[in-house]
Structure 1
Amino acid sequence: MTAKLRNIGPKSAAWLRQVGLRTPEELTAIGAVAAFVKVRRAGFKPSLNLLYSLEGALRDCHWQELPEARRVELVAEYDAIIADKPLKKAPPASGPVYDRTVVSDDAPFEQDQDDAP
């Protein structure tokens, strides 16, 4: 986001830029919920405060001033979108871990008690 918007800090602005929302007009065109979904689908993990902040930015009010009823509507809209097309699961942080024992040619191989004949 190149223009300074109310409620939108540097991290949130960076997320919005990275999902292609660079102006207040672009944010207005898609709305708070769709912008929040784009950020989530890009792999970021914002809290619902971002959703409320986006709506507050569009209404030009502090996000904490949003009525509780509007917050519930925003979350319901988000849930409906995600129910229709769920977010992709994140890939595992790493691959499987294998425990391998290496026996050198110099050291005698010792059998486990369970493996002995």
Structure 2
Amino acid sequence: MSDAPVDSLPGIGPVTGGWLKAAGIGSAGDLRAIGSVEAYRRLKFMLPRRVSLNALYALEAALRGCHWPDLPQDVKSALQQQAKIIDESFRLGAAARCAIG
């Protein structure tokens, strides 16, 4: 399963699969190794206006082998918090992302 193409996971279609491959996440094992939040961060960096919270839900659901509406509410809430942190860092700009201390 870990060598399977990332777009073979449930809920990962050809568009998202292409984005993931462009971000260096080509297999199910790659996605499993970095997790849904890091994959979302990479996609958000590449395509900030096209990647939404639904992508994060889909990535997490793909790792769990379910559809994103079936994710437990506590998981969705945790993912929302992570997405908010990532999205806010992009709104603040590069200087805020690269600031020291």
Q: CA deviation at 1:56?
A: 0.5
Of Structure 1 and Structure 2, the greater helix share is in: 2
For 2:60 and 2:43, locate their aligned partners in 1 and report how far apart those are by CA, in whole Å: 14
Match for residue 35 of structure 1 among 31, 35, 39: 39
Asked if 1:2 corresponds to 2:16, the answer is no
% of aligned pairs identical?
A: 34
Extract unaligned runs of 5+ from structure 2.
Answer: 94-101
The residue correspondences of 1:1-117 to structure 2 (distance < 5 A) are: 2-3=5-6, 4-44=8-48, 45-83=50-88, 86-87=89-90
Runs of 4+ in 1 over 2 A off after TM superposition: 78-83
Root mean square deviation, CA, Å: 1.9
Extract unaligned runs of 5+ from structure 1.
Answer: 90-117
Q: CA deviation at 1:80?
A: 2.9
Larger RCO (CA within 8 A; separation ≥ 6): 2
- Which of the two has higher C-alpha Rg? 1
* TM-score normalised by length of structure 2: 0.76
* TM-score normalised by length of structure 1: 0.66
